[in-house]
Amino acid sequence: MDDQYHSVDADQTDEEHIDSHETQPNHSAHEPGGVANLSRRGLLGAVGLASAATAVGMAIPFGRNLRDGWVPAALAEDVPGMNGKDGLKVLNNRPLNAETIAHMLDDPITPTARHFIRNNGIPPEDVDADSWTLTIDGLVDKPLKLTIADLKKQFEVVEYALQVECGGNGRSAFDPPARGNQWSTGAIACAKWKGVRLADVLKAAGVKSNAVYTAHVSADTHLSGKEGKLAISRGVPIDKAMDPHNLIAFEQNGGPLHPMNGAPLRLVVPGWPGSCSQKWLTRIYLRDKVHDGPKMTGKAYRVPAYPVAPGQKVPNSDFEIIESMPVKSLITRPKTQIDTKDKTIEIGGHAWAGDRKVKTMHVSIDFGKTWQEATLDEPVNPFAWQNWKTEVTFPQAGYYEVWARATDDKGDMQPFAIAWNPKGYLNNSMHRIAVRVSA
């Protein structure tokens, strides 16, 4: 066994440990999925189609296709941006967590100013790129200590467009609520990252035959301020670590990393939960067992190994680590709610599927009764999201929703709604927008 890891306090083992600083679920009448004076079981089941039409302000031509549990997308509201990041909504201030409004993610490559923020601790203040070092040790033949200049000099520098998504993206839609940051749809981005391949650096250090998992250490500090207490320390299996598209990155979209996105050095491990892509990276060590650092044990970034009922208690031993993220898509064009006199409009966005590719993309304007295929681009490189677009035509004036559904190359398809899990992870339900067509 390696001796590179010290013990972890119990309160560090849960990915969304609730302290007084953390955002609590707040399902107000105007949040996505919320309806004034109604339970979260859905508008249709509570008041009927006629009242649903009254709530959205016009007739619903395809209302006969609605299902129980439906809540109009029109009852979501746009949110203001935050200082320093264009179009981001702050979910929590300590640690800082902020997501991007869906239509602000329309660019094929996510601008740095619109890349979401997911912090676990307090970011470091000293982020001088010239003096920053990265240690590679543990179960290696030749431990390394490298500056960023060393990385650039000793290894091939590459640049890829890579999607990074928080494992809790979509948590706000779970009923009953799951505790933690109430992400809606905006904890996803696909920026261009420049750096060196993680695999190349590990090969240079010499991976011992008994190494099975990486362990990542970063310079952010625990919210408690306790000396030596890590905010997060995640890892991945060696097989995943050796994928050539994992980067030790020092540039973002042609410039330095943003301070809230990990400057001056971070991991980018695309296709898996964003927590694997550790920011402010200072050390990677290899272990002969699954890493058990903070946010690796208990329920952190894990889901039950079997279906569970909403609210059901599940023993920690029955949780499995999340690896590849599920197939998913996002409508970024037009906005989440629009009013238009045009009967035909363009719909567009992005789709992604963890370690897989998206094979087909479809949209519906009649609440899922019929579907039309959209044009889907190939990814610019493996692990980049795929852009899609189509035109839809509405038969008459009224209230409509456009639903988006991606299918991956293994045949897995986005559902209307995802089964509940205790931590609110992996919500890949279909994204939808509200369209009011006037006469």
Q: Which two tokens stand for residue 119?
A: 């912090």
Last residue of a domain, one of 321, 342, 363: 321
Using 50, 70 and 90 to split pLDDT, how confident is the model at 87? confident
- Is the residue at 303 inside a domain? yes
Residue 111 lies in a domain: yes
166 and 197 in one domain? Answer: yes
Kindly state the average pLDDT of the residues 383-412.
98
**Count of Cβ atoms closer than 10 Å to residue 221 Cβ:** 19
Same domain, yes or no, for 347 and 425? yes
- Of 80-84, 271-275, 286-290, 301-305, least confident by mean pLDDT is 80-84
pLDDT band at 227 (very low <50, low <70, confident <90, very high): confident
The confidence band for 228, taking pLDDT boundaries of 50, 70 and 90, is: confident
The residue out of 321, 337, 361 marking a domain boundary is: 321
CATH number at residue 305: 3.90.420.10
Q: Which residue has the higher pLDDT, 76 or 336?
A: 336
Q: Give me the pLDDT at residue 55, please.
A: 57
Based on the fold, state whether residues 90 and 191 are members of the same structural domain.
yes
C-alpha 237, offset from chain centre? 20
Mean pLDDT of 196-215: 98
Give the Cα-Cα-Cα angle 35, 39, 41 (nearest 5 degrees): 95
In a domain, 288, yes or no: yes
Structural domain boundaries, residue 344: 328-437
340 and 382, same domain (yes or no): yes
- Both 283 and 309 in one domain: the answer is yes
Answer yes or no: do 261 and 389 share one domain.
Answer: no
Q: Which residues contact 160 (CB under 8 A, 6 or more apart)?
A: 192, 193, 245, 247, 381, 382, 383, 384
Average pLDDT of the segment spanning 69-92 = 63
E-only strand ranges, 139-230: 144-147, 157-165, 188-197, 213-218
Angle at 75 between CA 69 and CA 79, to 5 degrees: 130
Domain end, chosen from 280, 295, 321, is at 321
In this structure, the answer to whether residues 149 and 191 fall within a common structural domain is: yes
Query: Helix (H) and strand (E) counts for the chain?
Result: 4, 23
Asked whether residue 274 is assigned to any structural domain, the reply reads yes
Closest Cα partner for 92 from 173, 180, 33, 189?
180
The confidence score (pLDDT) of residue 6 equals 37
- CATH number of the domain residue 416 falls in: 2.60.40.650
Domain count, the chain: 2
74 falls in which pLDDT band (50, 70, 90)? low
> Which distant-in-sequence residues (6+ apart) come within 8 Å of 60 by Cβ?
49, 52, 53, 66, 398, 399, 400
Say yes or no to pLDDT of 29 above 50.
Answer: no
pLDDT at position 18 is: 35
Residues 269 and 229 placed together within one structural domain of the fold: yes
